[in-house]
Structure 1
């Protein structure tokens, strides 16, 4: 099927799924994930993942995080930096230690077990953002902590991944050179120095100049250039493009054009790119050898949920949050989504995972990601009912 035909099916099916999800009182994102499984190789085999679908999905992640950055209150992010770091640290250590240890008990080698832990240390905040926005909690202390923790979590995860690839090598052979890691750390430091310049001078200057152009969409175009450029630079230095887009959103959100840009970009992303992103996760599911792998999938999915939830909740409690707020943060960190999928893909290409284990991990990522919005929605309702 052509890409255009696939896109028509994706948009029609996700719209219907969103409507039915709203009628059933569940997050629309869950319906879109299920649609990806139904129309993909896992069930009806109508659509397969292609380079174009993957590119649209990547743009969906970038725009979703860009909008999250625009809507983020930087004062809130600064205010809750300490709990965010506490949540990120506990949320990375627990999956690496616990899921890595359990993987050893399943008979996997130390290298594979450690990498499984690294995969599930990642957090995909883009899915939690959808639910937080639905409850208008993106600027709350819980939302700010989840966003901040996800950024720190992503950086820690990338550092762990970079370290493993550098030490083990692209062919699965251990070597001791740390030049690649040091070079990557250097360029990532330059990237964050560039973020400071962007927020302070570059973005305000570009958006000011866009106001002077005799083009009706000049401000939106300038914002998109900033967003995509930062996503590209982030990927260039080994970070997720979502991180670059998030900081680009923060930079644009601090300018007077914030409302105009948000109002123009949100309909485009939500109508086209974001649905493709959520469907693309479901397209990764295959039921081959499912029964054989079922014990591993059930146990690892349970641990994937518990380690992030418990890690986020403990980190929040240590930072002084009450139990209900800590629960929101913990459930907000459960989703793995694109970050874990990307990490698993890198590990598979670097021969750190074999094909069967890679497919099982994809299954665990998808199931945990589908559970995440339900649990976050439940915890947000509990929080609002107790306030």
Structure 2
């Protein structure tokens, strides 16, 4: 059954992506929408399974690994200040307005802060593909977005641990922070000293495709360790890509990883987001979905854009950066699941927020297309 589902996804994703480009939108938008059509909510041709979810996880990890490979280290250093402003601006505004929205909805104090933190999360995996479609990934704006996403992830997770420790959860804040410090320190040290050595040694083995295999080993180990220490796996994969990008193997790894990723794993990831959408019973809460979606989109757009403007970007670039931070994606879904498990979200609110997260993900590519000046955009499909 999985084999047939993969065939259906690949055919539909490529056709939908092509149609999206023909309509002047990034290819990822078409793939997100076709996932909803293929999934249980409409046609029911593809169903959410554990194996499909694992394929999807590999897809997003490889996508962020490629983003790391394409990152210019010098540009990344130069945009550190801008990334900090964008990351913090994109947290503070959604956090505060999300909290006040929770108070208006008669949530408890802790539940309101949790809602604010959930709305502060960012997942730029969708934005990365839109940036690639528009040839903007290696620009100053693109590098700022990637740096801001790392800052956003770390700050939100630490703030979440802080909240959970006060809300009665079994969370040791010192341990949470220490784990993240150790991960980033270790990731930088290993990337500096061990990654080049490993690539050189492993590539001499007398078997085929040792370079790409060694690069994927580095990618998956970084992603695993990031997730183990409470940092998103996509951040670990991105850092792994950056580490490989400064070696002599960068171009060979990039070409082969891109072929593997975009032939199967990345289209499955984008399409599976739509497949997992569940709209049953949401009709009675449609007003709440609309209000929270509006808050989620506007607060992240405004907060991140203001941060970019303060860092010296013009308004068009600032709004483009802000729109790229709007997607909450899998990071917010993980936080929502944690809230449900910890009784900080009711089952009803959880269902509403899943749809809100999906809405933020779908609107991100066309918003980016609107604000970014895609000069020389290739419209390359995922």
* TM-score of the two chains, using structure 2 as the length reference: 0.94
Q: Tell me whether 256-265 or 296-305 shows the greater mean CA deviation.
A: 296-305
Aligned match of 2:43: 44
SS class of match (1:212): coil
Residues of 1 paired with 2:277 and 2:129: CA distance?
22
Q: Could you give the per-residue CA deviations for residues 311-354 of structure 1, whole angstroms, max 9, x where no partner exists?
A: 11110111122222212211111111111112112222233212
Residues of 1 paired with 2:343 and 2:272: CA distance?
23
SS class of match (1:215): coil
* TM-score of the two chains, using structure 1 as the length reference: 0.93
Aligned match of 2:275: 283
Alpha-carbon shift at residue 162 of structure 1 (Å): 2.1
Label 1:48 to 1:382 Cα distance change in 2 as closer, same or farther (>3 A). Answer: closer
Label 1:196 to 1:374 Cα distance change in 2 as closer, same or farther (>3 A). Answer: same
**1:30 aligns to 2:36 (yes or no):** no
Residues of 2 paired with 1:218 and 1:364: CA distance?
43
Label 1:143 to 1:90 Cα distance change in 2 as closer, same or farther (>3 A). Answer: same
Q: Superposed, which structure 2 residues align to 1:111-130 within 5 Å?
A: 111-130=110-129
Alpha-carbon shift at residue 121 of structure 1 (Å): 0.8
Alpha-carbon shift at residue 383 of structure 1 (Å): 8.3
Q: Tell me whether 77-86 or 21-30 shows the greater mean CA deviation.
A: 21-30
Q: Which structure 2 segments of 5+ residues have no match?
A: 378-382
Alpha-carbon shift at residue 382 of structure 1 (Å): 7.6
Aligned match of 1:360: 352
CA contact (8 A) 1:325 1:383 kept: no
Residues of 1 paired with 2:349 and 2:271: CA distance?
22
Aligned match of 1:63: 62
Q: Tell me whether 76-85 or 125-134 shows the greater mean CA deviation.
A: 125-134
- Residue of structure 2 aligned with 1:234, choices 221, 226, 250: 226
CA contact (8 A) 2:202 2:211 kept: yes
Q: Tell me whether 375-384 or 361-370 shows the greater mean CA deviation.
A: 375-384
Aligned match of 1:314: 306
Q: Which structure 1 segments of 5+ residues have no match?
A: 169-173
Aligned match of 1:268: 260
Aligned residues: 377
Aligned match of 1:171: none
CA contact (8 A) 2:26 2:130 kept: yes
CA contact (8 A) 2:39 2:275 kept: yes
Alpha-carbon shift at residue 13 of structure 1 (Å): 1.4
